[in-house]
Structure formats: C-alpha cells, structure tokens
Amino acid sequence: MSPETEPLVKVENLAVAFRGGVRAVDGVDLTVRRGEVVALIGESGSGKSVTLRAIMRLNPERTSRVEGRIRVAGQDVMALPKRALADFRGRTVAMIFQEPLLALDPVYTLGRQIAEAVRRHEGVSEAEARARALAMFERVRIPSPERRLDAYPHEMSGGMRQRAMIALALACRPQLLLADEPTTALDATVQIQILLLLRELQRELGLSAIFVTHDLGAAVEVADRIAVMYAGRIVEEGSARQVVLSPQHPYTVGLLKSRADGALAKGARLVTIPGSPPDLARRPPGCAFAPRCPLADEACRRDPPVVSPAPGHRAACWRVPGADAAEPAQRADAA
C-alpha cells in the first residue's frame, strides 16, 4: 500500500493484560483513515482508555503486557526504540485527557508546559515556543491569552483548562489526536462548546482522531465512524449513520435505548442495561455480553462470528442475520 492510501492508524489484534490477570483489551482491530474521526464508545471499564494509551505505549511498562500490531503514520509503534517513541509522542500523536486538572503539572504555568513540548520537538528558542503557545491559546479561543499563559492550572475554570489542554495537544501539529472523554469532567454547557471547538479544529487541521466517550450523542456529533466496545472487544463498528440507524449488536441496541430513555437527563450515563460487565480477569468463553443479553441462547457460548450486514459495517454476534454461515472470529487467545 502506498503511504497515500494507507490508513493513518491500523491496530490489529491488540491485547493488553495487566499484572493480576485482567485482560483489559482482548483482540481489538481498529482502523482510522486520514482526516477521519472514530468514536470509541462503551461502558466504563470496557477498555477504551487502555486501548488509547496502547496507541502511545503509555500503559505502565512494568505491570502490563501488550500484544498485537499497531501502525501509526507508517511507524511500527510496538517496535519503536525509546528515543523514537518520545519523538513520536506529542509530535505524530497527541492525547487529550479526561480531567485536565490532573493531567497538567500543577507547579508549571500553562505557557511553560506548552512551550516545553514545542521546544522538545522543534528545538526552537524559548521566545518562539512562547509565541507558539500564545498562538495556540488564541486558536482555542482563550480570552486574554497573553495573561493566561502565565496562569497555573488551578487558577483556571474547567472549560478553560480543557482548552489549554487542547492547545497543548495541538501545539506540535500532530496528525492523530486521541481524546479520552474530553468533556466528561465538564458542565453540560461547556461540554458542547468544547465539542464544537474540537470538531472545528479537527476539520481545519485535517486531523485524524479517536474520540473516546460514553455519550452516544457526542459520538454522533463529532464522529465519522463509531466503534462500540464491550469487555475489551469491539462488538460493532460502522459509519455513525449505520450504527445509530441500524444497530446490529444487542449491546449497541441497548446503548441506544438507554440513551433514548434518558436523553434529556443531565449527564445521562449508559448504565441502564441491566446487569454488569464480566470480570475481565475471568472472562467466560463465547460472547461476553450473553449474560446480559435478552436474545442470548446456546450458540452464544461460542465466540461469535464477525458479520458484515453492509459495506463498512461489522458486528460480532450470533443473532445478526447471516451469522450462522459466517466463520467464527479469530481471536488473540484462539490463535
């Protein structure tokens, strides 16, 4: 494949296990094309953050084991030596964290934190780096940016902090933006502003992005495609239209229902599906959703096949029409 047509991100059969036996991610395939936004949705604990961190190799080295293949912008992330990995982080891929107050160093001013990243990657002078930080603050529309550069994280409001975090992430013009629930910690009105800002910047800069959320509404708002994650696996994936208008997997259907029921409630969470996700240290064979699934039967004790009801739309479930004829999915643990 030529670099032009090769997807920016290609994750194959990713598995992340933590010391103690938790398999947080268990065979994830994910592709992001250039300029595309993919939303990763699913209940809390389904492995979304661990997947994102794996793309930057940020999971703790000493207590986690990562398997599979990760290619980003033509680089084999798993094989990068330390130095190249540090060059890759922040430069090719940048991350926005859920809680900016915790993700920013409390004893450095915001301006210095941004300038530090710029200097690290571009080797420019302190003054140039600061000018870039100022330009980024203007770009994310922080009022009185000059003054705010010298503020410490705790001196800003949650929304302003998240804007600063976005400015930091985009300061070195990355190709891929990873956003881990960037609006969850914010007030509802601020959430929408940040979401709109992210979408605007993504389009202007032609960024690719993986956007983790458990808010389906936000996913539809910003994403071209949606991947639904359950217990460490992607159970359904398709264009935003496909997933929302013709959901195939019973879990996706459940998510959509819970959203429809509680759509207007403030901070509606996807918790209205009865039951709870399986223990990731002792996952039963077959479909992990079966114990909570209204449609489950004997067949669901075997690993479900991946069925494609339409081009670009995939679901891993025995109940999807055509599943009986399909081949069982190849899993990391089955190989």
Partner 1 sequence: MLTFVGKRLVYVAPVAIGVSIVCFLLVHLAPGDPLSAILPVDATQETIEQMRAAYGFDKPLPVQYALWLWRVLQGDLGTSIATGRPVIGEVGRAVVNSLILASVATLIGFAFGTFFGFVAGYFRNSPLDRAASAIAVFGVSVPHYWLGMVMVIVFSATLGWLPPTGAGPDGSGNWRPDLAHLRHLILPAITMSVIPMGVIARTVRALVGDILSQDFVSALRAKGLGEFGVFRHVVKNAAPTALAVMGLQLGYLLGGSILIETVFAWPGTGFLLNAAIFQRDLPLLQGSILVLAMFFVLLNLAVDILQTALDPRIERG
CB-based burial label for 83 (10 Å; 0-12, 13-18, 19+): exposed
CA 254 vs CA 1, 43, 280, 308, 319: distances in Å: 38, 11, 21, 20, 14
Q: Which of the choices ligand ADP, Mg ion, partner 1, none does residue 47 contact, using the CB cut-off of 5 to 8 A by kind? A: ligand ADP
Q: Which is nearer to ligand ADP, 44 or 276 (CB)?
A: 44
Contacts of 83 (CB under 8 A, 6+ apart): none
What DSSP designation does 132 have?
Answer: H
Q: Which of the choices ligand ADP, partner 1, Mg ion, none does residue 117 contact, using the CB cut-off of 5 to 8 A by kind? A: partner 1
Choose which of 45, 124, 152, 220 interacts with partner 1 (CB under 8 A).
152
Residue 155: CB minimum distance to ligand ADP, A: 29
Residue 102: CB minimum distance to partner 1, A: 4
> CA-CA distance, 165 to 179, in Å (whole number)?
11
Q: Which is nearer to partner 1, 53 or 319 (CB)?
A: 53
Q: Which is nearer to Mg ion, 60 or 81 (CB)?
A: 60
Residue 148: CB minimum distance to ligand ADP, A: 30
> CA-CA distance, 145 to 136, in Å (whole number)?
9
Choose which of 79, 86, 245, 295 interacts with partner 1 (CB under 8 A).
86
| Binding to Mg ion, residues 3-62 (CB under 5 A) | 49
Q: Which of the choices partner 1, Mg ion, ligand ADP, none does residue 280 contact, using the CB cut-off of 5 to 8 A by kind? A: ligand ADP
Residue 233: CB minimum distance to Mg ion, A: 16
Q: Which is nearer to Mg ion, 131 or 268 (CB)?
A: 268
> CA-CA distance, 179 to 39, in Å (whole number)?
9
3-state secondary structure 282-331: CCCCCCCCHHHCCCCCHHHHCCCEEEEEECCEEEECCCCCCHHHCCECCC
> CA-CA distance, 194 to 197, in Å (whole number)?
5
Binding flag, residue 81, partner 1 (CB under 8 A): no
Binding flag, residue 82, partner 1 (CB under 8 A): yes
| Binding to ligand ADP, residues 10-49 (CB under 6 A) | 18, 22, 24, 42, 44-49
| Binding to ligand ADP, residues 61-90 (CB under 6 A) | 63
> CA-CA distance, 287 to 305, in Å (whole number)?
10
> CA-CA distance, 210 to 180, in Å (whole number)?
8
**Which residues pair with residue 328 across a beta bridge?**
305
Residue 34: CB minimum distance to ligand ADP, A: 25
The DSSP result for 35-63, as a single string, is: T-EEEEE--TTSSHHHHHHHHTT-S-TTT
Binding flag, residue 106, partner 1 (CB under 8 A): yes
Nearest to 181 by CA among 202, 160, 155, 162: 162
Which spans of this chain sit near partner 1 (rule: CB under 8 A)?
Answer: 53, 56, 58, 82-83, 86-91, 94-95, 97, 99, 102-108, 116-117, 120-121, 152, 154, 168-169, 172
Positions touching Mg ion (CB under 5 A) are 49
The site for ligand ADP (CB under 6 A) is made up of 18, 22, 24, 42, 44-50, 60, 63, 280
